[in-house]
Structure 1
Amino acid sequence: MAEVDHAALEAVQEEIEALAKLTENAELEIALKRNELMTPVFEKRREIIAKIPNFWPTVLQLSDAFSTLIEEHDLPVFEHLTDVWVKNDPKDARLFDIVFTFSENPYFTNKEVIKRILVRKDEDGEDEPYGADFKIDWKEGKDLTNLKRKKDEESSPASFFEWFNDEDVNLAQFIVQDFFPEALSIYTNGGEDDFGDDQSEDLEDEEDEDEEEEEEEEHPKKKSKK
């Protein structure tokens, strides 16, 4: 059997990793340029849809992918939603805020509820995006995240608004990459979008995987007796 040249393998692997990093940096530069070009267009769209009654509540319910994540008791809150906006960091495409603007309502005092995506170092020293916590100032007795779950739904969120204190970035990336850019198309096509079914399944699968990981951490498997 031929002897493996470990030095050559390591050199090739280092070259692969260097090119992957170079590609990643190039993609981030492209994303920054795309954000720069698209923001004025989105601002123009924002002015137009501001005149359409209940635009954003309608789009949320029409989007197959998004509507599956909203609980029935969340719907009255979203009736007060007046705007959704993605605020991108001008220097780092990985950083952004998703801003939900609400009119005065009986649920919370915040005018804006924000999902902020930041970056930190993971255990291996690699950059890792995560969702920062946001404090929703619920009015007395109106905190939907405190609602009791049904026995068969104990693993699922009590409310969509729990997401604002969740580090997971999958939904945020979906909103930025698919939902927000396609909002007008979803509205005009009555929810017939190109990403709805597949994306909703992906988001639900990812949510299930996160729940399974949490359960494994809380209830580690017992070691079998020898």
Structure 2
Amino acid sequence: MAAADKGKKAKVAEEGGSPSPWPSTASPELLQSFSKLQEIQDQLEKINVKASDEVLVLVQNFNVLRKPILVRRNEVIGTIREFWSTALITHPILGDLFSEEDKKILQHMSSLEVEEAKDVKSGYSIIFNFSPNPYFEDEKLIKTYCFNEEGKLSIMCQPIKWKDGKGTTDGNVHDKGGKRPYTSECFFTWFSETVKRDGRVDQIAEIIRDDLWSNPLRHFQEEVDAMDLYGEAEGEGDKGLGGGNEGAEEDEDGDDEEVEDDDNKEYNEKDGDGEEEDIGEDEDDGDTDADTDEDE
């Protein structure tokens, strides 16, 4: 039987087909089990492909439902000063990428958007919107990730149009006249990179898309809790959220003054007690003098 199997393999090879993937030394019973198992796997694969197609349709439908809600979310976020820059800087992973100069640039960031391709599987774009600023001419910094039918990734972005003296690197060339030193981990350097480092998937983009964009309030809230910005908003009035911790420092100074006032009050009360005692003694002296006069 084994010889017959070998002959069958040879015949398949001669006809230009693929040889059997199963070991030639396998018993007929084992070969039959392998064959049945392969049929089952083929059936599962067909179901998996169908499921993937239907999941994409569902994702597309839910993206349509999310769109008006995301628009409303952006409108509310627009009322909170420096919301996106704060959420980015306080993110436990992304925050490590920002230099002090990057943080100054982010103060001019007005909003962030993640736009999915209509068919979802083709890719997405990450968009940073900026108000007019002294650093670059661009109002939008866009980085797009595209996947072809084979799933191969390509990255597209436009070089940042830096203003004179404010240039950074575009990932390849460093302007020696620029004020900012070249660092490979600079966030805006990443924004101009079109090649995956070490062939790995761009984790920064995945974090922005899957974590920060999905729930930015979580990371902004961590900053609120850490700096007690709500309490500061009450004390500072028009500064609102994200305005820094100057109010907290003033409150601390105020507390110190109150403590000093309490000490002065206690000290004055003690002095007052002393003065009352002196007055009493004077009155006694006056009575004594009066008695002396009467005696005379």
TM-score normalized by the length of structure 2: 0.54
CA distance in 2 between counterparts of 1:185 and 1:97 reads 22
Conserved? CA contact 1:74–1:144, under 8 Å? no
Matched, 1:142 2:169: no
| Structure 2 SS opposite 1:171 | helix
TM-superposed CA distance for 1:50, in Å, is: 0.7
Counterpart selection for 1:163 from 173, 185, 190: 190
CA gap of 1:163–1:10, structure 2 versus 1, over 3 A, is farther
**C-alpha distance in 2, partners of 1:89/1:97?**
8
Taking the TM superposition and a 5 Å limit, the aligned residue runs for 1:91-130 are 91-121=119-149, 126-130=150-154
Is 1:188 matched up with 2:212? no
- Give 5+ residue unaligned stretches, structure 2: 1-25, 175-180, 226-296
**Aligned counterpart for 1:131 among listed residues 155, 158, 168:** 155
1:40 equivalent among 53, 68, 78: 68
Cα distance change, pair 109–188 in 1 and its aligned pair in 2 (3 A): same
For the 8 Å contact 1:97–1:114, the answer to whether it is kept is: yes
Q: What is the deviation of 1:24?
A: 2.3
Answering whether residue 114 of structure 2 is matched by residue 83 of structure 1, we say no
Relative to structure 1, is the Cα distance of residues 57 and 11 closer, same or farther in structure 2, using a 3 angstrom cutoff? Answer: same
Deviation of the 1:130 alpha carbon: 3.5
From 198, 207, 211, give the equivalent of 1:178.
211
| 5+ residue gaps, structure 1 | 150-156, 193-226
Could you say what secondary structure the match of 1:86 adopts? strand
Tell me which protein shows more helix as a share of its residues: 2
Write the distance in 1 (CA, Å) between the matches of 2:82 and 2:49: 43
Q: Do the aligned residues in 2 keep the contact of 1:62 with 1:191 (CA within 8 Å)?
A: no
Distance (whole Å) between structure 2 residues aligned to residue 29 and residue 182 of structure 1: 23
Q: Deviations over 1:74-94 (max 9, x none)?
A: 222111111001222333354
Work out the CA distance in 2 between the residues paired with 1:148 and 1:162: 9
Asked if structure 2 preserves the Cα contact closer than 8 Å seen for 1:84 and 1:101, the reply is yes
Letter in 2 for 1:33: N
* Counterpart contact for 1:119–1:129, Cα < 8 Å: yes
Instruction: Note the alpha carbon deviations across 1:48-87, whole angstroms, 9 max, x for none.
Output: 1111111111111121122123334322211111100122
Larger Rg: 2
Question: Per-residue CA shift, 1:137-187, capped at 9, x if unaligned?
Answer: 1223323223334xxxxxxx2411232323444322322221112112322
Q: What SS class does the counterpart of residue 98 from structure 1 fall into? A: strand
Amino acid at match of 2:205: A
Q: What secondary structure does 1:181 align onto?
A: coil
Q: CA deviation at 1:117?
A: 1.7
Q: State the alpha-carbon separation in 1 of the partners of residues 136 and 87 from structure 2.
A: 22
CA distance in 1: counterparts of 2:47 and 2:97, whole angstroms: 37
Question: Greater RCO between the two (CA within 8 Å, min separation 6)?
Answer: 1
Structure 1 position 35, deviation (Å): 1.3
Judge conservation of contact 2:168–2:182 (CA < 8 Å) in 1.
Answer: no
1:26 equivalent in structure 2 = 54
- Decide whether aligned partners of structure 1 residues 186 and 158 sit closer, same or farther in structure 2, where only a CA change above 3 A counts: closer
Q: Aligned residue pairs: how many?
A: 181
Provide the identity percentage. 25
- Corresponding position: 1:50 with 2:82: no
Range with greater deviation from structure 2 (129-138 or 38-47): 129-138
What is the one-letter code of the residue matched to 2:168? L
